[in-house]
C-alpha cells in the first residue's frame, strides 16, 4: 500500500522558503514556488508524500488554520496556477501531495460565517449559535461552561445576530455545525475539488471533535471542559463514514486524522479499516510522557515510560501515523534529545546534539506505521532561542501567558513553561545555509531565525557523510527496502530510565534496536546479549558495538551517551 510504504514530509509553507516569485516578493513568508524549487532535495531524502499545512486564503489569526476560502490560495503563498504546478512537478518525481483539511471551524471572515450572522440567511445554521443564558440579575451569560483549546472563552457574543457562537479555538475560528447536512455537502465539494486537482489525501485537523452532541455544561476539568459532549461522538463517526463512502473511496487517496485527547479505544474506532472512517491518525501520548496537563508543564523524562506508551500504540492499532515533530510541537532534539544540554555559549551545538538527533531518527524510522518527518527535523533543527515573549507569534503562547498571569504564576515558571511548549519552537524558518537569514528569505522573516543557523543548516550537511541529513537518508533507504521495518511486528524487550530495547520481526527477518536516552554510557543487561548477535546495520555514533567487527560475535550491547544501534540478526 503506497501510503504505508512511503515517507511523509510535512511542510509548514510560511517557514519553508521565501522567493521573489509571488505577488509579495521577498515578504519573509515562505511560498509555493519555494517548495517547488526544493522538490529535488526532498526526493533525494527519500520522501514520497508531502503534507502541506494550509495554503488557502486566510486572515491568519492562526496561521492559516482559519480558512476564509477553501477554493483559493492565499496570495502570500502564490496562485492557483502555482499550486497546479506543484501538483504537476511532484507527480513528475513520483511524489504525492496531501492537503490540510481544516473543517471543525472556518475563519470568521469566511463568507458562510458573514452570512450566518443574519438569522434569515440560508447559512444561518452553518455554525453553532445560541441565545445564551440570563443570570438572576438579568445579565447575559454564555450558554455553557466549556473551556477551549486556546485557553480563552469558547463563546463569543455577536451583536448583529444577537446570539453567541461557539469557537473551541480562537474567536476568529467559529465552529461549523455538523448537525446541518448542508455543511457536510459543502465539505464533500471541497474534498472533490482538491482531489480532482491532484491531491492524494488529507491531514484532517482536530477531526475527532467536529460533532457536538449537546451543548450542556461539561464536567469540571483542568484541561478542556466539555470534551464529553464533543470528543469522538457517534455523530462524528457517522460524518467520517459518509465522507469516506461518498468521496474518499472513489479516489486513490488516504486520510490521516489529527485526533485530540484520543485514547486507544477511540483510536480503534476511528481508524479500524472495516469501519471505513480514517486510514490512520496522530495521537499525542508519546510526546506527553514528560508533560503534565496536556503539553504544558514539564516533568522528568523516563525512557521506560516512553517504551510503555509506544508499545501500547504499536501493538494496539493495526496501523500508526508515527511522528516526533510537527508545527505544534517542540523540536524533538530539544525535547527528547541532547540539544539543550549540549551547546556552547555562542549557540554552537555539540556532538551530542548530532548523535541524539540521529538516535531519534533511528527510533522513528524503525517503528511500525507511516513515518511523518517535519521540515528541519532531518537536519536536527532545535527549539526557537527567543529571548523575550515579544519575539513570539503563537496565539497559544500569548494566551497561556495571560492565563498564567491571572493565576499569579511567577514569571520564571511562566517563562519555563512557555519555552518548553511554544508552538513557535518548530515554526522558525528552515535553515538552508549560513548566509543572511539562513537562506530562507531576502526580506525580513515573519518569525525569528534561530541564531544557531550558522552551525545547523542544510547546505553544510549535504556534503558531510556524518551529518544528520545523511543519516536520515541512509535510514530511509534502509526502511524502504525492508518489509520487516515497514510491516513487521513490534516487540518490546527491555527498558529502564535511560535505555530502551525493542525488536521488529517479519518471518525470518529480525531487527533489534537499542536506544540510549541519556548522557551516560549504558549497558544492556547481560541476558539480552544474545539479541545483539548479528550484523550491526547502523549506529547513531558511527561506533561499532563492543566486541564487534561488523558482525556482532560477542553480542554485547554497550551504548555511548545518546547512541542508538540497529542490529540485524537474520
Ligand atoms: C491543530 C493544528 O495543528 C493547529 O496548528 C491549529 O491551531 C488547531 N488545530 C486549530 O485548527
How many C-beta atoms surround the C-beta of residue 55 within 10 A?
25
Distance CA 57, CA 72 (A): 6
* CATH superfamily, domain at 111-166: Oligo-1,6-glucosidase; Domain 2 (3.90.400.10)
Question: What span, in angstroms and rounded, lies between the C-alpha atoms of 2 and 70?
Answer: 27
Cα dist. 564→103, 291, 357, 488, 550 in Å? 40, 24, 10, 20, 15
Q: Where are the beta strands (DSSP E) in 260-366?
A: 280-282, 291-292, 297-298, 321-323
Q: Could you say which DSSP state residue 349 is in? A: B
Q: State the pLDDT at residue 536.
A: 75
Mean pLDDT score, 466-471: 97
- For the residues 267-288, what does the mean pLDDT come to? 97
DSSP conformational letter for 397: H
pLDDT at 153 over 70: yes
| Domain boundaries 2-106+181-385+424-476, CATH class | alpha beta
Return the percentage of the chain with pLDDT > 90, whole number: 88
Please report which helix (H) or strand (E) contains residue 523, including its range: strand 522-523
Residue 467's pLDDT is what?
A: 97
Three cell numbers, residue 227? 470534551
Specify the residue with its C-alpha closest to ligand 1, atom 5: 328
Give this prediction's pTM: 0.97
> Scanning the structure block, which residue is given the C-alpha cell 480532482?
196
Contacts of 236 by beta carbon, 8 Å cutoff, 6+ apart: 178, 207, 208, 209, 210, 211, 230
Beta 321-323 vs 140-141: how paired, if at all? unpaired
What is the rounded distance in angstroms from the CA atom of residue 123 to the CA atom of residue 131? 17
Task: Give the Cα-Cα-Cα angle 500, 423, 442 (nearest 5 degrees).
Answer: 115
Span 488-569 CATH architecture: Sandwich (2.60)
What are the CA-CA distances from residue 344 to residues 284, 332, 437 (Å)? 32, 19, 21
What H or E segment, with its residue span, contains residue 223? none
- Rounded to 10 deg, the angle between the 395-406 and 411-421 helix axes is 160
In the structure, what pLDDT confidence band is assigned to residue 129 with cuts at 50, 70 and 90? very high
Ligand 1 center from residue 567 Cα (angstroms): 38
CA 205 to ligand 1 center in whole angstroms: 6
Q: What is the pLDDT of residues 488-508, one digit of tens each?
A: 999 999 999 999 999 999 999
Contact status, residue 74 vs residue 55, Cβ threshold 8 Å: yes
Query: Which pLDDT tens digit goes with each residue over 26-46?
Result: 999 999 999 999 999 999 999
Q: How many residues does the chain have?
A: 570
In angstroms, what is the span from residue 426 Cα to ligand 1's centroid?
14
- The residues assigned a catalytic role are 205, 258
The residues facing 490 across adjacent strands are: 504
For a ligand 1 pocket test, name from 11, 54, 102, 398 the mutation site with the most ligand atoms within 8 angstroms of its C-beta: 102
Mean local confidence (pLDDT), 280-302? 87
Query: What is the pLDDT at residue 549?
Result: 45
Minimum CA distance residue for ligand 1 atom 6: 65
Ligand 1: residue of 13, 152, 168, 169 to mutate (most ligand atoms within 8 A of CB) is: 169
Local structure of residue 39 (DSSP, 8 states): H
What tens digit of pLDDT does each residue of 54-110 get? 999 999 999 999 999 999 999 999 999 999 999 999 999 999 999 999 999 999 999
Cα–Cα distances in angstroms (integers) from residue 157 to residues 117, 171, 217, 277, 456, in the given order: 11, 10, 18, 35, 47
* Phi, then psi, of 328 in degrees rounded to 5: -110, -5
> For the residues 192-208, what does the mean pLDDT come to?
98
Asked whether residue 570 carries a pLDDT value surpassing 80, the answer given is no
Per-residue pLDDT for 263 more than 50? yes
CA distances 502 to 15, 515, 521, Å, are 35, 9, 19
Domain coordinates in residue numbering, the chain: 2-106+181-385+424-476, 111-166, 387-421, 488-569
Amino acid at each position: 500500500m503506497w501510503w504505508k510504504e512511503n515517507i511523509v514530509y510535512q511542510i509548514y509553507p510560511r517557514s519553508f522558503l521565501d522567493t521573489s516569485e509571488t505577488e509579495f516578493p521577498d515578504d519573509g513568508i515562505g511560498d509555493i514556488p519555494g517548495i517547488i524549487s526544493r522538490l529535488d532535495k526532498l526526493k533525494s531524502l527519500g520522501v514520497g508524500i508531502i503534507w502541506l499545512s494550509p495554503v488557502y486564503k486566510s486572515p491568519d489569526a492562526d496561521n492559516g488554520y482559519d480558512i476564509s476560502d477553501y477554493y483559493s490560495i492565499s496570495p502570500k503563498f502564490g496562485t492557483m496556477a502555482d499550486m497546479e504546478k506543484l501538483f504537476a512537478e511532484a507527480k513528475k518525481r513520483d511524489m504525492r501531495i496531501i492537503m490540510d483539511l481544516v473543517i471543525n471551524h472556518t475563519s470568521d471572515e469566511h463568507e458562510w460565517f458573514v452570512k450566518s450572522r443574519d438569522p434569515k440567511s440560508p447559512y444561518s445554521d452553518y455554525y453553532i449559535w445560541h441565545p445564551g443564558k440570563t443570570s438572576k440579575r438579568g445579565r447575559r451569560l454564555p450558554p455553557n461552561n466549556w473551556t477551549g483549546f486556546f485557553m480563552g472563552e469558547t463563546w463569543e457574543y455577536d451583536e448583529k445576530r444577537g446570539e453567541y457562537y461557539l469557537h473551541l479555538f480562537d474567536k476568529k475560528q467559529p465552529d461549523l455545525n455538523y448537525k446541518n447536512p448542508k455543511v457536510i455537502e459543502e465539505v464533500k465539494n471541497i474534498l472533490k475539488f482538491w482531489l480532482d486537482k491532484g491531491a492524494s489525501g488529507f491531514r484532517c485537523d482536530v477531526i475527532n471533535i467536529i460533532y457536538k452532541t449537546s451543548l450542556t455544561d461539561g464536567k469540571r476539568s483542568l484541561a478542556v471542559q466539555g470534551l464529553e459532549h464533543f470528543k469522538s461522538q457517534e455523530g462524528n463517526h457517522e460524518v467520517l463514514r459518509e465522507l469516506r463512502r461518498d468521496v474518499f473511496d472513489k479516489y486513490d487517496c488516504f486520510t490521516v486524522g489529527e485526533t485530540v485527547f484520543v485514547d486507544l479505544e477511540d483510536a480503534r474506532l476511528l481508524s479500524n479499516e472495516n469501519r471505513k472512517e480514517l486510514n490512520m491518525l496522530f495521537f499525542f501520548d508519546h510526546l506527553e510522557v514528560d508533560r503534565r496537563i496536556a503539553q504544558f508543564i514539564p516533568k522528568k523524562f523516563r525512557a521506560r515510560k516512553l517504551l510503555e506508551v509506544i508499545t501500547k500504540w504499536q501493538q494496539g492499532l493495526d496501523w500508526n501515523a508515527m511522528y516526533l515533530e510537527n508545527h505544534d510541537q517542540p523540536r524533538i532534539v530539544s525535547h527528547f534529545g541532547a540539544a539543550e544540554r549540549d551547546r556552547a555559549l555562542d549557540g554552537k551545538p555539540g556532538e551530542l546534539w548530532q548523535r541524539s538527533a540521529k538516535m531519534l531518527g533511528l527510533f522513528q524510522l524503525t517503528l511500525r506505521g507511516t513515518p511523518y518527518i517535519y521540515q528541519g527535523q532531518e537536519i536536527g533543527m532545535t527549539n526557537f532561542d527567543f529571548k523575550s515573549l515579544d519575539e513570539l507569534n503563537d496565539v497559544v503562547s500569548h494566551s497561556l501567558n495571560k492565563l498564567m498571569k491571572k493565576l499569579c504564576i511567577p514569571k520564571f515558571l511562566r517563562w519555563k513553561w512557555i519555552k518548553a511548549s511554544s508552538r513557535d519552537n518548530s515554526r522558525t524558518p528552515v535553515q538552508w545555509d549560513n548566509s543572511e537569514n539562513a537562506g530562507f528569505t531576502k526580506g525580513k522573516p515573519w518569525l525569528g531565525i534561530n541564531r544557531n543557523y550558522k552551525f545547523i543548516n542544510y547546505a553544510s550537511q549535504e556534503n558531510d557523510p556524518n551529518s544528520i541529513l545523511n543519516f536520515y537518508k541512509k535510514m530511509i533507504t534502509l526502511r524502504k527496502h525492508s518489509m520487516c521495518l515497514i510491516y513487521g511486528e513490534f516487540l518490546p524487550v527491555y527498558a529502564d530510565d535511560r535505555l530502551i530495547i525493542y525488536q521488529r520481526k517479519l518471518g525470518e527477518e529480525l531487527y533489534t534496536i537499542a536506544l540510549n536516552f541519556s548522557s551516560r554510557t549504558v549497558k544492556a543487561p547481560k541476558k539480552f546479549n544474545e539479541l545483539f548477535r548479528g550484523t550491526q546495520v547502523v549506529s547513531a555514533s558511527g561506533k561499532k558495538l563492543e566486541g564487534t567487527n561488523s558482525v556482532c560475535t560477542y553480542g554485547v550491547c554497550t551504548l555511548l551517551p545518546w547512541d542508538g544501534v540497529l542490529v540485524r540478526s537474520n
